[in-house]
Chain A
Amino acid sequence: MTVVIDRTKPTPPPPGEGSGPVSAAAKARAKGFTLGLYKPRTPIYPKLVHGQWRRIKWVLLILMLAIYYLTPWIRWERPGVLPDQAVLVDFAGGRFYFFGIQLWPQEVYFITGLLVISALGLFLVTAMFGRLWCGYACPQTVWTDLFIYVERAFEGDRNARMKLDASPWSFNKAWRKIGKHAVWLGIGFGTGGAWIFYFHDAPNLLADFWVGQAPATAYIFCALLTVTTYAFAGHMREQVCTYLCPWPRIQGAMLDQHSLQVTYLRDRGETRGPHKKGQPWEGRGDCIDCNACVVACPAGIDIRDGSQLECINCGLCIDACDEIMEKIDRPKGLIAYDTDAAVAAREAGRPPIYRLLRPRTAYYAVALSLVSALMIWGLTHRSALDVHVLRDRNPMFVRLHDGAIRDGYTLKIANRGFEARDVQVTFTGPPGAKLRTPGAKAAGDTLSVRVEANEVRAVRVFVTVPAAAIDAPNMPAAFAVRAGDEVKTVETNFLSGAANAP
């Protein structure tokens, strides 16, 4: 019989419907979520507000962008061939320059300390004032604000934008959309372009960049940041905060009911409801349910639902509400920086208590002070001289014709300062030891070596000990390296192989 294996037809379903494993996505579809597990993004059209917090945000936006764009262009005179850029992460040279400080890769703990200080500072500020960082200083917030400003310039405010998006394609829609995206990409390019100046000498890089002479990493990172800026600030916006950023998930651990944050004053606002002019305010809350706070929110939430993960505490709803309160002639501050405890106290008819000093804030403050003090101590007591001694391991020692023993060492003398230094190397150990370095005319008790600024010099040092002074196969020894008043002593040993002597 002929058996034909035919793969041209789809495999028939296995007997017994639904007997196999079912994916979570399939289950979700079965329940009616047509797009599976993923919630589609609801477009948010934040409305422009005017007021105190909006003004503060504009000022901070300009300040943050100025810091970001201008920092690499600050010049800082350094001696010799050292770069004259105040802030420079010099990967090629393995140095980090920050005004009068230069850090070497070995001193990366200063960077660690800086990160610890940043984290503790963030904890402290969050515990006291909520998500100030998220609302005002985070690059995601700053750039998104800038991108929304551009969007508004091309497409108008909330209502105009919604109408434009709903309208069919036309010349009017096309040029507004194209213009917006072009400017967005331009800002993205500017962002990536500024980033790379932190890693190379800015004026030279700027000149090289346009003629294709800049390093490949400059182009790659410029392109990368162009794309991420355009995507994050233009398209993803609040989704970055809600889904990508770990901080909203962590901040719940920093906040408590005494943390000041953007709060809807339930006690004053409820019971909410529409209000007609001339109606009495007695027996009802001040919230007229106008949704001004909701349409102003760049995260697309309703602050009246209370503190929530999506809220970046930007304060725009405060301004939005204040505008309305002014119009309806009610006191401002229905939405304000306040604490959950105060709201609860007023609801219960008690006077609110504000407690900035709590065990939590005290811990953070103490930890922050300690780490900062440690960092300052470390930076001020940082030595510009560093010495490492590497013993020769092959051969470990050499016996000379007269029975004297010579050991070889490589001294790595680092000069982390900005000036060249003359250092003196001395040796303590078996008596009668003489030092010699290749190129020197004769052996002596002290070696003089010049170490150029910002360099590590490897110095070969040969120590010869006369036969009479050798009494053990392994004798303790030390090198002392002196530069001015500074002395660095490094312990090592002198191997003589005395046990093997004939």
Chain B
Amino acid sequence: MSNRETDEHSGVETTGHEWDGIRELDNPLPRWWLYIFYGSIVIAVIYWVLMPSWPGINSYAKGVLGQSDRVDVARQLEALNQQRGAEGAMLRTASLETIEADPKLQAYALAVGQSVFGDNCATCHGVGGTGFKGYPNLRDDVWLWGGSLEEIQHTLQVGVRSDNPNTRQSQMPAFGRDQILQPAQVDDLTEFVVALSSRSANVAAIKRAAPVYVAQCSACHGPQGKGDIKQGAPDLTDAEWLYGAERADIRNQIWTGQGGVMPTWEGRLSPETIKALAVYIHANAGGQ
């Protein structure tokens, strides 16, 4: 129950509310505060009119100014494209070779490529592009699907074993797991593959494995084990091993036939971004 009375100490009316014996003086609000408060109300009403504010069932009140963050972002992106200027435009039209050979375009493509690589590729291939076990090294001169500018661009576009209909596709059979070969044959084949890369191996095992290699492996990896870039079949004679160089690693790969997936970047990155990325990867691989 409100019980207004005048405080005898100050002569000011109280609000009549009492909390634990403390009564509140009903002093007026400071004028400056009050004016700011009224001002805020006026500004709020103006804001309703000018800016999107009231939600509707299917839409919302757009406001007189038609302000929209989406439109703003689109405008900023357009401004960014304008700002990218000559180099940005050239990236669309120039050929990959031209981009790489021209100092200005190259510098621009390398800068774009570096940033895009860091965002999209470094997760698997590493910040330096040297890859990990199962993820190819992009810095050396060993390329499963070809290391020319065009091949790199194509790999970026369609991916490897990706969901792109034109994806690069190769499948190493799981010779052990799928029981295509006996475990002993897999052991022998392991020795054969070790020998291919000029390392010492069990001669008896190599002899036993030779016909198996011809029957099962040479179609893709070639009679000399040099691999085939067209099929994405790795060279077995060099020092590079995607899934490890040790005997156990090689045996495991023959047994399980692992194959990683590289996503398709068509549609996720713009064509000129893919071009810049191709130049970046190609340039940093020494330019094969």
Contacts and interface: CB of A to CB of B under 8 A. Distances in A.
Interface of B is mostly: loop
Nearest to B287: A438
B1 interface: no
B113 to A, nearest CB: 11
B286 interface: yes
B66 interface: no
A6 B10 contact: yes
A471 to B, nearest CB: 18
Nearest to A394: B128
Interface string A390-429: 0010110011111100101000000000000000000000
Given A400-B140, A401-B141, A438 B10 contact: no
Contacts of B137: 398
Given A6-B9, A408-B284, A458 B25 contact: no
B140 A399 contact: yes
B142 A401 contact: yes
Contact of B287 (A392, A403, A462): A462
Interface in A6-43: 6, 8-9
Contacts of A392: 128
A400 B142 CA distance: 7
B27 A439 contact: no
Given A395-B130, A395-B139, A406 B239 contact: no
B225 interface: no
Contacts of B127: 394
B133 to A, nearest CB: 15
Interface string B270-285: 0000000001001110
Interface in B218-253: 235, 238-240, 245
Nearest to B27: A8
Contact of A395 (B129, B240, B282, B283): B129
A2 B23 contact: yes
Given A1-B21, A436-B286, A462-B287, A398 B9 contact: no
Contacts of A458: 107
Contacts of B106: 438-439
B283 A400 contact: no
A403 B107 contact: no
Contacts of A399: 140, 239
A2 B21 contact: yes
A20 B103 CA distance: 74
A36 B27 CA distance: 37
Contacts of B7: 4, 6
A460 interface: yes
B23 A4 contact: yes
A464 B142 CA distance: 15
Contacts of A437: 287
A439 B101 contact: yes
A6 B287 contact: no
B145 to A, nearest CB: 15
The residue among A6, A398, A402 with the most chain B CB atoms within 10 A of its own CB is A398
A440 interface: yes
A2 B102 CA distance: 88
Nearest to B100: A439
14 contacts: A1-B21, A2-B23, A392-B128, A401-B141, A401-B235, A406-B140, A406-B286, A438-B283, A438-B286, A439-B97, A460-B110, A462-B286, A464-B286, A502-B239
User: Top 10 closest A-B pairs, CB basis?
Assistant: A438-B283, A394-B128, A439-B101, A401-B238, A439-B100, A395-B128, A398-B139, A438-B287, A395-B130, A462-B286
Interface of B: 7, 9-10, 12, 21-23, 25, 27, 97, 100-103, 106-107, 110, 126-130, 137, 139-142, 235, 238-240, 245, 279, 282-284, 286-287
Given A399-B140, A438-B279, 8 more contacts: A3-B21, A3-B22, A6-B7, A394-B126, A398-B139, A401-B142, A438-B287, A439-B101
Interface of A: 1-6, 8-9, 392, 394-395, 398-403, 406, 408, 436-440, 450, 457-458, 460, 462, 464, 502
